[in-house]
Structure 1
Amino acid sequence: MNKLKIFSFALLTAAGATQAQDVDQAKKAIDAEQFEKAKAMLKSIVQSKPANGRAAFLLGNVYLKQDVADSAQIYFQKGLSGSEGAKLNYIGLGQIDLDKGNATAAKSNFDLATKDVKKKDTEEYVAVANAYINADKPDYKSAIAILNKAKAVDPMNAYVQLALGDAFYGDKNQNEAYAAYRNAFQADNTLIRAKMQLGVLLKGAKAYNEAVKAYNEVIAISPNYGPVYRELAETYYYWGNNDPKNYTEYIQKALGFYEKYMSLTDYSLASRMRHADFLILAKDYKALEVEANKMKELDKVNPRILRYLGYSAYENDNIDVAIKSLQDFISNPANKVIARDYLYLGLSKLKKSNNAETKTVDQPTFDSGVADIKKSVEMEITMTNDLSEVGKKFYEQKLFKQAAAIYEIAVTNPESKNFLLDNFYLGNSIYYDNTRKDVVKPDPIALQKADAAFGKVAEASPTTQDAYIFRARTNRLLENEPNIIKYYEDYVRVVNEKGAEEVTKNKAKIIEAYNNIGSSYANTDKTKAKEYFNKTLAIDATNEFATSALKTLK
């Protein structure tokens, strides 16, 4: 009997060791972003050993990474009834609370997880920190605070240092992040992600060449580590956007590295969705349409596929499909709608409203599109970066009212790379809309917006001469005599400062300026008025307007 007991205990120990080994393998698969492989391994453990709360927690976390919160919650709840690592599942539930915006409930769950932890234990603290980091609205400072507790008991714990690196990186503290990632890799040189993150920091600093070198060092150590190829793809994407001369070459490299990443992870629906997100960034909409249809074959009912179908349909001029796909996606309250969803829906409606052949606009459809674009900008201000070219298309069709509506949204972001140009086109659109032949009376409120827009251009770029002349013309419509004089004088000054060649090139506009300044002075200062009309005649002796005005002033 004693021999039997010993044999049975040995079997149990071996089984426990196997389970632990399987959990470790699952962790490696998660780190390598092989999520389907990790899920299969963890489901097997949870099924064969329901008491393994740690496996349930890891499985729930994989589902959170894939934005499947309901499945994550099921496994976290199941894990609570386990024995080994059961309390970790409170942390998973806490992250779901954070994603719902309930920080108080999250903290209660985190407190339950960390209550009575052993003095040297750090696992729970790291997991809580990761929950703060990975939440929909990350709280990096809370993550750093709890990791400092873990660091106090185990200063060179590789996982504590890795999480600190992530928290400092998110908190935009590059120096501390670098030190933490370096410490993590020194403490455990099998923790390849820590070394990869050193390259990520270089990418964030726009040191793209150095980042690529850092990634190549990772590949030399672990050539089949998939995430490093994703980082290479993203680095070449950003590099291409910052180096227009090499844009095409770098984008092709980026797409190639992303394919390599896919081949080393999995071609699951979740991975294809991440690939689709990258194709959107790289603006490869033909490939996006192909990927969206492959996803549809895998899962006909997954709502996110509608997003990719909508985006690619818009870019490939299948506008009705784009509108229907995005409306269906947005109308489902279970979906996590992002700013770009509203942007593409709005852009699709704008395109549908615009009949290029007749140069007419279906105004209700256009207005609905503008409302969607406003929603997208309210959700994420950087969406304004995509509006310049859209506004310009309406502007070039002389649909100035519609162009102004688009540019008015674009200039709400002072950090936009197109801020000055968008303001100039906003002012011009309003000005030209108020000088149409069918306009009975100009709109003073709109013209004041144009005046302000030209003012922003002139303030930020004082040598942009056209900002002054259009501001002067706008004030002429507003019948604001002091401003007419001021901005025409500014125009003449800026042109003269650029030299004789520029003056010659802009002779007609300078004459316009002198004649309008003279007209503005005519009722208040006849001497000044004559001075400016004579300036006109000095460069155009036969100018009829100046000649007639001088006769009237006598």
Structure 2
Amino acid sequence: MNKFTTFSVAILASTFTIQAQDINQAKKAIDAEQFETAKTMLKSIIKDKPSNGAAFFTLGNVYLTQNVQDSAKIYFDRGLTASDEGKLNYIGLGQMDLDKSDLTSAQSKFAMATKDMRKKDFQEYIYVARAYMNADKPDYKTAITTLNKGVAYNAQDAQLQLALGDAYYGDSKQNEAYVAYRNAFQADNSLLRAKMQLGVLLKGAKSYDEALKAYNEVIALNPNYGPVYRELAETYYKIARNKPSQAAANYKIAMGHYDKYMSLTDYSIHSRMRRADFLILIEDYVALEAEANKMIELDKVNPRIYRYLGYAAYKNGNVDVAIKSLENFITAPGNKAIALDYLYLGLTKIKKGTSADELTIEPAAFEAGMVDIKKSIEMEPLAVQELSEVGKKLFGQKLYSEAAAIFEFGANTAESTSYLDDNVYYGLAIYYANINKAKGVQVDAVALQKADAAFDKVLVASPTYLEAYLYKARTNRLLEKDDLMVKNYEDYVAKTTELGAEELAKPAIKTKIVECYNNMAASFANTDKPKAIEYFKKTLALDPENSYAAESIKILK
């Protein structure tokens, strides 16, 4: 009987070890971003041992990583009933509460998960901290505080130090992150993610060459560690953005590394979506459209694919596909549409209403597009930065009223990187829309006043942009505000004169100053003839053949 008992205990111990090894293998697959492999392993563990709460928790987290909340919740809820570490699943449910901005409920669940911890336990602190970091709105400071509770019991644990590194990195504490990642790798030199993160820190500091060296050190240790190739791809993307002249070559290298990453992880619909995200980054919309169509064949019901197809079709000029795809995505139940979805939908509607020669836009199509664009900017004000090039194209097509409507968004968003340009073009578009009015059609006084205000913003942001004074004068001339027109012209002449004789001698500058003198003279012709004559004489001093000035002096005398 004693022998049998001993043998049974040995069998049980062996079974427990196998289970532990299985879940550790699943965790290694997760670290390698082989999520489909990990899911298969975890489901097998759960089937063989439904009491393994850690397996439910780990599987739920994989689904959260893949943004499949429904499946995540199913496994967390089932895991709560598991007899072995079932309380861990409260942490997963707590993260889902954080995603819903329900901090009170999340904290309550975290408390339930940790209330029976033994004094030397610390794994739960890592999981809770990860929940704070992985939430839709990360809270890195609380994660650091939580992890420091674990440090008190086992400061040398590699996973604890790795999590600390991630928390410090998220909180923009680069030095502390570096120390934590280094400590993690020293504690466990098989933890390649910790060593890889040292390269990520260098990438964040724009030390791209040093980052590449760090990644190559990881590859030397294990050339089959997939995530390092994703980091290589993203680093070459950064290099491409930093060196536009070499962008095409570096984008190609980046894509090669990303494909290597894919080959070492999996080709599931979720990994293909990650690749699609990267194609958007490097602006390869031809490849994105092809990839989106392949994904639709694999999963005809996943609405996110329609976002990719919509973006790509918009960029590639396939307007009908773009509109249908984006509308399918936005209206799909449970989807979270973002500003860019509405922005591209609106721009596509405008593009659809544009004539083949691009010289006219159907008013109804333009208005429909503007509704979506306004919705986009309400969601994310900096979406205006995407509109600047669109406005410039419309301006180049002499669609001035439409260009002004597009530029108005950016002209009123001071935080935008295109704020100065947008105000310049906004003012110019309004001016040209009114200077080209058909004979007998009144100018739009309200719009012209907005143009004048836009040029004022330009002069505040860039006082040396003297053309703004000229266009203020021209705008006020259209508004028949002669006093303001004269002041603006005087300002242009005075500011230009300050630049010296060499600047004044330039033919283009001479022409503009002649414009100033002639218009100022004309404004005084009925009220102050001597002053009018004085300005016309200044014109003739610069341009003796100017017939308008010469004839006007004769009339005034």
**TM-score, length-scaled by structure 2:** 0.94
Letter in 1 for 2:460: E
2:435 aligned counterpart, secondary structure: coil
- Bigger CA drift: 521-530 or 440-449? 521-530
SS of residue paired to 1:89:
helix
Root-mean-square deviation (CA, aligned residues, Å) is: 2.0
Corresponding residue for 2:286? 286
Query: CA, structure 1 residues 89+508, in 2 after alignment: closer, same or farther (shift >3 Å)?
Result: same
In structure 2, the CA distance between the partners of 1:551 and 1:49, relative to structure 1 (3 Å rule), is same
Local SS of the residue matching 1:116: coil
The one-letter code of the counterpart of 2:21 is Q
User: Could you list the per-position Cα deviations for residues 208-240 of structure 1 after superposition, in whole angstroms to 9, with x for gaps in the alignment?
Assistant: 222212211221222111111111111111211
Q: Could you tell which deviates more after superposition, 497-506 or 257-266?
A: 497-506
Separation (CA, whole Å) in 2 of partners of 1:341 and 1:358 = 24
- Partner amino acid, structure 1, of 2:448: L
CA distance in 2, matches of 1:97, 1:240: 39
Contact 2:496 2:503 in 1 (8 A): no
The AA in structure 2 aligned to 1:452 is A
Q: For residues 500-523 of structure 1, what are the alpha-carbon distances to aligned partners after superposition, in whole Å with 9 as ceiling and x for unaligned?
A: 256323322221122223344556
The change in CA–CA distance for 1:536 and 1:236 in structure 2 (over 3 A counts) is: same
Instruction: Give the distance between the partners of 1:350 and 1:235, measured in 2 at CA.
Output: 36
Counterpart residue number, 1:500: 502
The runs of 5 or more residues in structure 2 that have no matched partner are none
> 1:354 deviation in Å?
1.3
Equivalent position of 2:354 in the other structure: 354
- Whole-Å separation in 1 of the counterparts to 2:411 and 2:28: 47
Q: Residue type matched to 1:500 in 2?
A: E
| Worse overlay, 332-341 or 426-435 | 332-341
Match of 1:491 in 2: 492
TM-superposed deviation, 1:440: 2.3
Residues 469-492 of structure 1 deviation map (CA, whole Å, 9 limit, x = unaligned): 222212222334443233323333
Partner of 1:534: 537
Deviation, 1:141, is 2.1
Q: 1:444 to 1:147 in 2, by over 3 A?
A: farther
What does 1:449-528 correspond to in 2, within 5 Å?
Answer: 449-496=450-497, 497=499, 500=502, 503-521=506-524, 528=531
Within a 5 Å distance, the mapping from 1:156-305 to structure 2 comes to 156-305=156-305
Distance between the aligned counterparts of 2:231 and 2:550, measured in 1?
A: 70
1:35 and 2:35 are equivalent in the alignment = yes
Change (3 A) 1:140 1:466: same
Question: Which ranges of structure 1 fall in alignment gaps of 5 or more residues?
Answer: none
Kindly provide the CA deviation profile for residues 445-464 of structure 1, in whole angstroms up to 9, marking residues without a partner as x: 22222222222322222322
- 1:388 maps to a residue whose letter is S
1:430 maps to 430
Q: Which residue of 2 aligns with 1:3?
A: 3
Q: Could you tell me whether the CA contact under 8 Å between 2:208 and 2:239 is conserved in 1?
A: yes
Q: CA deviation at 1:309?
A: 1.4
CA distance in 2, matches of 1:173, 1:433: 51
Cα deviation for residue 466 of structure 1 reads 2.3
Residue 309 of structure 1 aligns to a residue whose secondary structure is helix
CA offset digits 1:108-164 (Å, max 9, x no partner)? 111211213222222111111111111112222222222222223333332222222
Paired letter, 1:147: L
* Aligned mates of 1:189, 1:524 — CA distance in 2: 89
How many pairs does the alignment contain?
A: 554
Shift of 1:493: 4.0
AA partner of residue 543 (structure 2): D
* Alpha-carbon distance in 2 for matches of 1:207, 1:486: 51
Displacement of 1:538 in angstroms is: 0.6
Q: Distance in 2 between matches of 1:71 and 1:519?
A: 77
Contact 2:339 2:376 in 1 (8 A): yes
Letter in 1 for 2:515: E
Alpha-carbon distance between aligned partners in 2 of 1:71 and 1:57, rounded to the nearest angstrom? 12
* Inter-partner Cα distance in structure 1 for 2:501 and 2:117: 77
The answer to whether the 8 Å contact 2:358/2:397 transfers is: no
Closer, same or farther in 2 for the Cα pair 1:532/1:436, shift >3 Å? same
Map 1:108-123 onto structure 2 (within 5 A): 108-123=108-123
Tell me the TM-score normalized by structure 1. 0.95
SS at match of 2:93: helix
Find the aligned partners of 1:15 and 1:272 in 2 and give their Cα distance.
37
Match of 2:318 in 1: 318
